[in-house]
Amino acid sequence: MNPHQIYQQQQTSNATRIEMLLGLYDKAIQNLTQAHQALKRGNLSAATPLVLQAQVMVYALANGVDLQYGEISQNMLRLYEFVLHRLGSSEAQNIGEALHVLTILREGFREIEPKAKAMELSGKLPRPKSVPALQMSA
């Protein structure tokens, strides 16, 4: 393992749940912003890998939804399903709609970040045992 990989692994293992969650949102939003711009320019070949990477991140977000919270969990899954449906299209408008939903969700999680960190660091919320790494190359 090279030093960069070791550093990334340590950063992930020291990250709180909310930091990892926000990181997924940030990268998905970054990719979709670039894909949206590429599609507006008519550059489908530049947009496609960015959209595919964002889809992987949205699947990871959906996979992390804890179903014990009933209606809230179901609504989150529906939002992720909507986003994934929009990402299945190569139209700029659909990518823009997916980007809009992810941005709103990210803003909501950003609002609770301080409280979520405090809860995890105090032990009120357990730290994740292990997190599978998502390796993304641009």
Please report, for the chain, the start and end positions of each structural domain, with discontinuous segments joined by +: 17-122
Question: What fold does the segment set 17-122 form as a domain?
Answer: Four Helix Bundle (Hemerythrin (Met), subunit A) (1.20.120)
pLDDT value at residue 14: 75
Residue 132 scores a pLDDT above 60: no
Confidence of residue 130 (pLDDT cuts 50, 70, 90): low
Q: Which two tokens stand for residue 38?
A: 């590429």
Q: What is the pLDDT of residue 129?
A: 59
Is the model's pLDDT at 21 over the cut of 80?
A: yes
Contact 29, 58 (CB under 8 A): no
Token match 């670039």: residue?
34
pLDDT in tens, 92-129: 999 999 999 999 999 999 999 999 999 988 888 777 65
Instruction: Give the C-alpha separation, 60 to 123, whole Å.
Output: 24
pTM of the model: 0.82
The pLDDT of residue 76 is above 70: yes
Q: How far apart are CA 61 and CA 99, in angstroms?
A: 14
The model's confidence at residue 15, banded by pLDDT at 50, 70 and 90, is confident
Mean of the per-residue pLDDT values of the chain? 87
Rounded Cα–Cα distance for residues 61 and 78 (Å) = 12
pLDDT at residue 115 in the model: 95
**Distance between CA atoms of 92 and 97, rounded to whole angstroms?**
9
- Measure the CA–CA gap between 37 and 43, rounded to whole angstroms: 9
